[in-house]
Amino acid sequence: MLIIPAIDLLDGKAVRLYQGDYDQVSTYDNDPVVAALRLEAAGVRRIHVVDLDAARNLTGQPARHNRKVIAAIRAAVDCEVEVGGGIRRLQDVQALAEAGVDWFIVGTALVKSPEQVKHWISAYPGRFLAGIDAKDGTVKIAGWEGDSGLNDIDVAKTALELGFSGIIYTNISRDGTLVGPDFDRTNAIAAASGLPVILSGGIGSMNDIKQAVNHSHPGVCGIITGKALYEGRLDLAELCLNFPQGAADADQ
């Protein structure tokens, strides 16, 4: 099971939101590059980066983003870097590819422009993960501030049809709460899609990690954790030691 620490970027800083609410922000590190180096030193194979500034933009025009910071993170670490937030145009994909990003996480465009995304996947095969972020089973978009009106299971099936390599599934109601993840819905997404799934949202303790390892659908291949690490509830080096970081199915 791949342990994937998260760095959420807002105004160039590493932060965490509570249930996706931009009005409930906690800043954890003013230098995300230093944070990334610290995570890699603990033994991780992949870092999850979300550009919260870019995620909120729906205009299709150039928006605020943190790509310089993302490029600096990519240049500083040897581990894989997956990036989500604001990937709405081919130019966004190209910019992140030029920065050396390994995986592109697409959520809003998956819902609003699936045929366009299919072309991106053809241009950069094997590098796209579907970011499915849901509340009460309904997929949210645009930095979780918009409602797609679509069911998360249906979107997961669409991701398979379009050629995505895997899914990152987040129950927004759990994100940043430390109350434990939504195992049931994550397992349902894995079963319905047939794709490798990374669980996200709500990890608060080592017990949550153990439950994810022992009771997840076989298709669940990774766990994203953020706030629990920053608040000292989890020791990342201990996690990597207890759960050796071999290749995840989503790497294939």
Residues with a catalytic annotation lie at: 8, 133
Q: Report the distance separating Cα 73 and Cα 210, nearest Å.
A: 29
In the block, which residue shows the tokens 């579907």? 130
∠ CA 167-189-119, rounded to 5°: 40
Query: How do strand 220-225 and strand 197-200 relate by DSSP bridges?
Result: parallel
Asked if 181 and 208 count as a contact pair (C-beta separation under 8 A), the reply is yes
Q: How many helices (H) and strands (E) does the chain have?
A: 11, 12
Q: Look at residues 5, 15, 1 and name the one whose alpha carbon lies nearest to residue 38.
A: 5
CB 114 within 8 A of CB 158: yes
Query: How many C-beta neighbours within 10 Å does residue 251 have?
Result: 18
Distance CA 167, CA 194 (A): 10
Angle at CA 12, nearest 5°, toward 131 and 68?
Answer: 80
